[in-house]
């Protein structure tokens, strides 16, 4: 994989204790960045920190759907660090069901974590980026936010919201050296698949012309370019990585 220069940069990665987030953290560390991984799962955070064993890796126990927790953590980090990169990766798929049978509590939880969590992190970190006239924000959305997945209306709606947020924020920050972009992966080999029924997983796979799920390292490679200074022009954009499922 191409090596990007992230030296002297500080990154915050939500949902960073496993899956996409953890792989991104490893690559950022190898590229010279200081990294803060956020996750609600303390056990996974401790395991990740122990396994990686890098002095540039830090962790915070954060529920991104809790505005006060996010605010407190951003304040603590920014008191001694410039936050140069934000990866909004934390998310849940939730159960699958027809919209009219969808549990209201599950609906609200999915939107709180996937969409409101992204909003909270951006709202609280963007002012620091504006002050420094530098930033790279990558929001991990989903192909479901573009196409809509049957029996996953909450997740599809939340990720569509993340796409809309990205486009708006990218335009609002275009006069600064701050790039805001979204990535829309298809299904990937992560623990998110465990939250879905086998039938739904097979349906997702059937939609991918390449005939396989996304590999984590493939998404990480795209994130690294978007997070680097090499991405000096693209903003408010949506980068598809769906194996041909969506072509727009």
Question: Whole-angstrom Cα distance, residue 145 to residue 95?
Answer: 16
Tokens for 213, please give them: 């799920």
Cα dihedral angle (111, 116, 121, 127), rounded to 10 degrees?
A: 150
User: Is 102 tagged catalytic?
Assistant: no
Select which of 120, 155, 176, 248 is catalytic.
155
Question: 């992204």: which residue's tokens?
Answer: 118
Contact 12, 39 (CB under 8 A): no
Q: What are phi and psi of 16, to 5 degrees?
A: -90, 5
| Degrees to nearest 5, angle at CA 118 with 114 and 124 | 155
Catalytically active residues, by annotation: 155
């Amino acid at each position: 994989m191409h090596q990007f220069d992230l030296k002297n940069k500080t990154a915050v990665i939500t949902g960073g204790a496993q899956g996409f987030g953890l792989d991104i953290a490893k690559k950022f560390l190898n590229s010279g960045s200081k990294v803060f991984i956020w996750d609600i799962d303390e056990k996974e955070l401790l395991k990740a920190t122990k396994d990686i064993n890098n002095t540039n890796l830090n962790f915070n126990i954060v529920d991104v759907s809790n505005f006060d927790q996010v605010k407190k953590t951003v304040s603590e980090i920014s008191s001694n660090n410039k936050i140069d990169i934000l990866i909004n990766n934390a998310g849940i798929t939730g159960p699958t069901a027809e919209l009219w049978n969808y549990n209201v509590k599950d609906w609200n939880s999915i939107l709180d974590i996937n969409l409101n969590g992204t909003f909270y992190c951006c709202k609280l970190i963007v002012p620091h980026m504006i002050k420094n006239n530098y930033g790279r924000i990558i929001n991990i959305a989903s192909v479901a936010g573009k196409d809509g997945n049957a029996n996953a209306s909450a997740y599809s709606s939340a990720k569509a919201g993340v796409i809309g947020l990205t486009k708006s924020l990218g335009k609002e920050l275009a006069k600064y050296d701050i790039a805001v972009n979204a990535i829309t992966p298809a299904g990937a080999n992560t623990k998110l698949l465990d939250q879905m029924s086998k039938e739904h997983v097979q349906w997702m796979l059937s939609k991918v012309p390449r005939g396989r799920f996304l590999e984590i390292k493939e998404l990480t490679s795209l994130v690294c370019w978007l997070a680097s200074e090499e991405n000096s022009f693209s903003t408010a954009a949506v980068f598809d990585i769906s194996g041909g499922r969506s072509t727009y």
